[in-house]
Amino acid sequence: MWRRASLLLICLGSMACAAATSSVRPVTSAGRNVITAAEIVTSHVHSVYQAVLQLRPEFLKSRTSMPSTPFNETRSMVYVDGVPFGPVESLRQIPLDIVRTIKYIRATEANIRYGGVHTGGVIEVTTNK
pLDDT tens-place values along the chain, 129 residues long:
656 555 545 655 555 555 444 444 444 556 889 999 999 999 999 999 999 999 999 998 866 555 555 555 567 899 999 999 999 999 999 999 999 999 999 999 999 999 878 888 999 999 997
Residues in the chain: 129
Q: CB-side exposure of 9: number of CA atoms within 13 Å?
A: 6
Residue 23 pLDDT: 42
Number of neighbours of residue 92 by Cβ within 10 angstroms:
12
pTM above 0.95, yes or no: no
Report the side by side order of strands in the sheet with 83-87: 34-36, 99-105, 122-127, 77-80, 83-87
Residue 64 pLDDT: 57
Residue 119 pLDDT: 84
State CA 9 to chain mean position distance.
Answer: 37
